[in-house]
Each structure stands twice: as structure tokens, then as C-alpha cells.
Amino acid sequence: MASVVVAFTLGGRPVEVLTSPLATLQQVLRGQLGRTSVKDGCRQGGCGSCTVLVDGEPVVSCLLPVQEVAGRAVTTLEDLTPVEGLSRVQRAFLDANGFQCGYCTPGMELATEALLTRNPSPSRAEIEDALSGNVCRCTGYEPILAAVEAAAAAARGEDVR
């Protein structure tokens, strides 16, 4: 099968990749563009560890053919990590111990970013719904939910603790 060229923006910068037309966005981000915060837990849309933002919406990149993002804006956790220090969501996850092994964490944080962009004051039920596609086998989820609540409070200018 002949390779194809796919153009999109990654973290706001234009990129072009030459790839198999069957390649997933996950394969291109991990294998060609070095975005290893995009994890590889199941390749069947079941774990959410490969979550990225496409035009601001969280998607599981393992199920998305890369050709589907032509002309669209892709964001991975690398793009939201400041050169110095941490983003508000990262700070909240760190302070609340919203992680244990760290493997699901990038996906959890991107799902959180998307949630807080569209809903700055989510209820506990809305947080659970927004993270329902992301599996964590270590924490039991409670510290992750607390981290999201803390990130939302920080974004509203409230005291995180």
C-alpha cells in the first residue's frame, strides 16, 4: 500500500508525516514524532492511556487513523508542560498524589484539561463521567478525582487545599 503524507498541527506547530495509510495517530505520535507521553496499553480503545486532544477534544489515539487528523490540531501532554515548573493540572495531580505507577497519568491529565476547558466547575459525577474512559489499576481513583477537583479550584482562583 502506497504511503501517504498527512499534515496537521502538533502543539500549535505544523507537522507533516509520511506514513502508511493504515497507521493510527498513536503509532505516528509514538513511533515517528517521539511523543512517548502517549502510552500504549491496549490498542483497542479500552484503557485511555493513549488519550490526546484533537481540536481540544479527548480521543483515544490508538483507534484514530492518522489521516483523520489532517488539517486538525493535535495536543499531547508534552505541549501542555511548561519549560519550567508544572501546569495547573500537573501541579494538582502531584500535590494530591493523583497517580501511583504513572502510566495512566498523561491520559488522565488530558481528559482533565478537556473537561475543565468546557466546564470549569464540574461536579464529582461530571468528573467521573469525563474520566470514565481512562483506566487506573493502582490508585482506586479517589486521589485522581481529588486532583481534578483541586485543579478546578485552582483554575477558579480558590485555595487548592
Cβ proximity to another protein: between 109 and 149 the closer is 109
Query: Min. distance of Cβ 23 from another protein in angstroms?
Result: 10
Query: Min. distance of Cβ 135 from another protein in angstroms?
Result: 6
Q: Site residues (CB under 8 A) for another protein?
A: 30-31, 36-37, 39-44, 46-47, 49, 76-78, 81, 86, 90-91, 93-94, 97-99, 101-106, 109, 135-138
Query: Min. distance of Cβ 18 from another protein in angstroms?
Result: 15
Question: 17 pairs with which residues across the strands?
Answer: 6
Query: Min. distance of Cβ 64 from another protein in angstroms?
Result: 17
Cβ proximity to another protein: between 125 and 150 the closer is 150
Cβ proximity to another protein: between 47 and 66 the closer is 47
